[in-house]
Each structure stands twice: as structure tokens, then as C-alpha cells.
Copies of this chain bind each other. A is one copy, B any other.
Amino acid sequence: MSKSLPKRSEDYSLWYNELVKRAGLAENSSVRGCMVIKPYGYAIWEKMQRTLDDMFKRTGHQNAYFPLFVPKSLFEAEEKNAEGFAKECAVVTHYRLQNDPEKPGKLRVDPNAKLEEELIVRPTSEAIIWSTYKNWIQSYRDLPLLINQWANVVRWEMRTRLFLRTAEFLWQEGHTAHATAEEALAETRQMLEVYAQFAEEWLALPVVKGVKTENERFAGAIETYCIEGLMQDGKALQAGTSHFLGQNFAKAFDVQFANKAGSLEYVWGTSWGVSTRLMGALVMAHSDDEGLVLPPKLAPIQVVIVPIYKTGQLEELMERIRPMQMGLIERGISVKVDDRDTERPGFKFAEWELKGVPVRIAVGMRDLDAGTLEVARRDTKEKLTLPLADIVNSVDQLLQDIQQNIYRRALNFREEHTTRVESYEEFKQVLDGKGGFVVAHYDGTSETEERIKEETKATIRCLALAEPEEEGICIVTGKPSTRRAHFARAY
């Protein structure tokens, strides 16, 4: 608390790392690349989980749980998927430790307890789930199968960052099976909409919906849909993906169903996921040099009340604060009264700013006597004077305003940082200047995409669904193009 945060303008990356730690969201653990999600961070994740889970259930999905481990032979069955994840797999090879005969008090792997077949710690669960679906699906009556799982997964990463890229992370993964390609595609798109709605209405993060190019597609998918958000440093962040798997996994695991006519067909699949990465997006999209700015809908504490008092007054003041506190709680607003007598108000103000609490109310005897309260909103740092008599309604309205304002601000930022360019020159200028999304024609080949990436570090974030067909010429090769892509440097 004593030291102020690094400034975004000076070192965005350092600002992010420090903020995540100091605000109590997460920290690095003694396990390389794995984080500890701290209580305050986890409380936000729980709100995300609860909201998404309700949305999944409303769209007909059920939760289930599949094993953490994937036997190697299953893992390698869908070749592209296996190839895509092979380089980042944690592998269990032994199932027992024993006393180390050379080092008293130490343990070592028991060489006699080697597994016959190695177990992969799931980097994603298509393999284990589709090998299970084989037994669950016989007939068209068993379809659609609409299942989601909340789980931890492990992808061994060399360069990690809290929330954004960690060896272990938490996520949900939906895995659905359908009788037709159309149904599976409709599911893929439906879940993209669910993610977009969640991002915009809860995270207050405007997103571009689109499809990935082949280079960026999920290993084993026919088509990957995604939502892409823009962070304050002008870099894009993929916030969720929804994959149309075609019949790839059904074929790899021999999952067939008898259709109404009685003949066998391979099942069509989808998978879709969001992860604790969303926590990183939340931080980077809205926060400022004083700390977190949390959208009220996801803030574990929506209102903090700081009593301002002279020695000996606290008890009496607390008595008078209680009705307001209760009124807010009854309205469904989460309130914290910071009645610590070990810290001064200024210290408390700074701490709750750091933690991104949307509304702060400072209350002294004189305010209560006068019937007005000083209310500070975190997003704009404005201070308002509001009548005590109507405080519950005012705060409720204010929380809604803040939610909308944060979204609008992020949307304005994105609009100001989305540039349509017509030449490679301009493309590079924008990237090196204000950054953001650069919307440009390219010839549709992987070669051009690769070349742009090598030369500028920008990747195609997606072919946006809202982008109309349009005749143009590739900014690099001059070849004809029918549609613009959204390029950006990205997390």
C-alpha cells in the first residue's frame, strides 16, 4: 500500500503485474508457471462462473466431470489435436515415491512404480470426453448431448504471466454432440453469442466476434469462432473461443449413431471455452494508475462505507450507519463497512481504490446530521453529494451508471483504436503508433499472414462477422481480396 503503482504510460506490463499482485488477485507460486488465485481474485472468478453457469444451463447444458488424466493412446487418437498440444504436455510417468536411499529424509520416484502407459495431464478434454461419448451415444435419441465441465487444465508454457498465460489455469469447456452439421454449427454460434453477451454485459468489455484463419484455428477444429477484446495498451486479447469440430473427433473415437432411418452416421461436435484469462482482460480493459476499476456486476464488494470519526465516536456512528448498510444489502448490493480503527481514512480510500470497489461512501456524524453523504465513484473519480434519505435508490442507479460508463469508455477506446487502412505502409504506421485493431485487405493466404506476423508481430485476430464482403486488394501482395481482416498485436 505504501508504494504507488507503476504508471501505465511508463511500463504497462509492470503496471499489470504489480496491480494483479497488490490488489490481491493472484501471485506466482513456487511451482513454475502456476499461479495462486488469491481470495479477492477468486471472488471475482466465482461471480464469472456463477453467471456463465446460469447462462449455460439456460441454453440447455448440464455439467459433468471427466478425468484429469488422458492416457497417451487416447491423447494421440485425433492427430491434429495431439500434434497441436504435444509440445506443452505435463506427463505423469510414475505413481509412487519412496525414501531416497542416498538422502535421508528425502523422497524419490520409485523406479518400480512406472506406469505402463503415460498419462497426460489434460491440456483440453476432447480426447477423454469423446472416448466416453462413444459409450453414451448409440441413437439419434441420445442427441444432442450438451455437456459442460468446470476444470483445471495444464499447458506447459515457457513464458508465463498471471492470468494471461499460466501453466495451469481454470476454465470451463463445453463439449457437445449433434446429429447434423447444421445443428453443431448453430450450437457453435450460439455459444459465441453467449460469450459475447457475457463479455459485454458483465465484463463491460466490447468484443469483436469473428472466425479464426487456419493459422490460428484450434487444433482439431474445422472452424474456430472467437471474441476479441482490446486492451488499453492497444493490444488485442482473445477472450473466448467456440469450435465447430465437424466429425473429426467422432471419427477419431468412432462415435456413430443410428439415424431415424436406422443407418449409422458419425456424430458432429463442438467445443467452447473461457478461462481465468478473462480475469486478465478485466484488469487490462478498465483499470487505471490508482488500481482496479471493476464493473459493478462482477465486483465482490460493490460499495464500501468508510466511517469518519473522532476517537470514541465509532460505536455511535456505526449504529447510525447500520440502517443504510442494511438497506443496501436488502437491495442485493454487496457492502463492506471498513471500521478498522488501525488505519486512517486516507489509507482506506487508497486501498479500496486499488481494489476497484465501484462506490465509496464516506460517512461522518455531520453528514448524517445534515442528511447528505459524500459518494465517490471509482470509474470517473467524481465525488457526488447525495441525500441520505434516498441513498439506496441513488447508489443502485449509480452502480448501473458505472457499469454502462465503463463499457462505453471501453467501446469508445476501441472505436478510436480501430483503423481501416489501405496500404502496408499505413498498416505499420498505425501499429507502431496508436496500435489497436487494423482492418485491412489481405489475399487470404497463410503465407501473407505469416509474413505480416514476422514483419510486424501483428496477427489476424479474426475475420469479423460484422465485416461485409468488399472488393479490395491485399495490402502486401496486391492480389485481390473479398473481405477485410482484423489485425492486431495480441496477448
Bound-complex Cα distance A222 to B67 (A): 33
Contact A34 B69 (CB under 8 A): yes
Q: A36 contacts which of B30, B64, B106, B120 (Cβ < 8 Å)?
A: B64
Are A147 and B105 also in contact (CB < 8 A) when A29-B67, A92-B92, A96-B89 are? no
Docked complex Cα distance between A448 and B128 (Å): 47
Q: B128, A118: Cβ atoms under 8 Å?
A: no
A309 within 8 A of B: no
| Interface membership of A109, Cβ < 8 A | yes
List the one stretch of A73-81, A359-367, A427-435 in contact with chain B.
Answer: A73-81
Instruction: Report B-chain residues with C-beta under 8 Å of the C-beta of A168.
Output: 67-69
Minimum Cβ distance to chain B for residue A18 (Å):
16
- Known contacts A141-B342, A342-B141; is A67 also within 8 Å of B128 by CB? no
Interface pair A42/B66, CB less than 8 Å apart = no
A74 CA to B32 CA in the complex, in Å?
A: 13
A215 in the interface, Cβ–Cβ < 8 Å?
no
- The verdict on A156 contacting B96 (CB below 8 Å), with A31-B119, A46-B63 known, is yes
Tell me, rounded to whole Å, the shortest Cβ–Cβ distance linking A339 to chain B: 15
The minimal Cβ–Cβ distance linking A19 to chain B, given in whole angstroms, is 18
Beta-carbon nearest neighbor of A73 in chain B: B106
Once bound together, how far apart are the Cα atoms of A170 and B109, in whole Å?
Answer: 25
Task: Tell me the minimal C-beta distance from A258 to chain B in angstroms.
Answer: 14
Given A31-B119, A170-B65: A97 touches B107 (CB 8 Å cut-off):
no
Contact (Cβ within 8 A) A86 B91: no
Q: Which residue of chain B is the closest to A62 with respect to CB atoms?
A: B39
Q: Which one of A31, A105, A121, A128 has the greatest number of beta carbons of chain B within 10 Å?
A: A31
**How many Å lie between the Cα of A87 and that of B119 in the bound state?**
18
Q: In the bound complex, what is the Cα–Cα distance between A109 and B115 (angstroms)?
A: 13
For chain A residues 41-81, which have a beta carbon within 8 Å of chain B? 42-43, 45-46, 62-72, 74-76, 79
A303, CB-defined interface residue at 8 Å? no
Interface range on chain A (Cβ under 8 Å from partner): 35 or more
The one of B74, B87, B109, B131 that contacts A93, using a Cβ cutoff of 8 Å: B109
User: Are the C-beta atoms of A69 and B31 separated by less than 8 Å?
Assistant: yes
Interface string of A103-122 (1 = CB under 8 A from B): 00111010000000011110
A322–B88 Cα distance when bound, in Å, is 53
- Docked pose: A68 CA to B156 CA in angstroms: 13
Residues of chain B contacted by A91 (CB below 8 angstroms):
92-97, 109
B93 with A88: CB separation less than 8 A: no
A98 within 8 A of B: yes
Query: 8 Å CB contacts to B: which residues of A16-39?
Result: 27, 29-31, 34-39
Indicate whether A160 reaches chain B with its CB closer than 8 angstroms: no
| Inter-chain contact A154/B93, CB cutoff 8 Å | no
A69 and B169 alpha carbons, distance in the complex (Å): 12
Q: How far is the CB of A38 from chain B (nearest CB, A)?
A: 6
Question: How many angstroms between the C-alpha atoms of A180 and B74 in the bound complex?
Answer: 51
Quick check: B93 and A128 within 8 Å, CB to CB? no
Is A90's beta carbon under 8 Å from chain B?
A: yes
Q: In the complex, A170 Cα to B150 Cα: how many Å? A: 12
Instruction: Establish whether residues B42 and A65, one from each chain, have CB atoms under 8 Å apart when the complex forms.
Output: yes
Distance in angstroms between the alpha carbons of A120 and B97 in the assembled complex: 9
With both chains docked as a complex, state the minimum distance between the C-beta of A65 and any C-beta of chain B, in angstroms.
4
Please report the C-alpha to C-alpha distance between residue A166 and residue B88 in the assembled complex, in whole angstroms: 27
Asked whether, in the complex, the Cβ of B92 is within 8 Å of the Cβ of A36, the reply is no
In the complex, A152 has a CB within 8 A of chain B: yes
B64→A38 contact, CB < 8 A: yes
A75-B119 contact given A62-B43, A64-B38, A64-B42, CB 8 Å threshold:
no
Contact B74 A30 (CB under 8 A): yes
| Most chain B CB within a 10 A radius of its CB, from A36, A45, A105 | A36
Among A43, A68, A75, A131, find the residue whose CB has the most chain B CB atoms closer than 10 A. Answer: A68
The chain B residue sitting closest to A87, CB to CB, is: B96
Q: A274 at the A/B interface (Cβ < 8 Å)?
A: no
Task: Give the one of A67, A87, A89 with max B CB within 10 A.
Answer: A67
Closest 3 pairs (CB-CB, A-B): A34-B67, A39-B62, A37-B65
Residues of A near any B CB (own CB < 8 A)? 27, 29-31, 34-39, 42-43, 45-46, 62-72, 74-76, 79, 82, 86-99, 105-107, 109, 118-121, 128, 131-132, 135, 141, 147, 151-152, 154, 156, 168, 170, 342
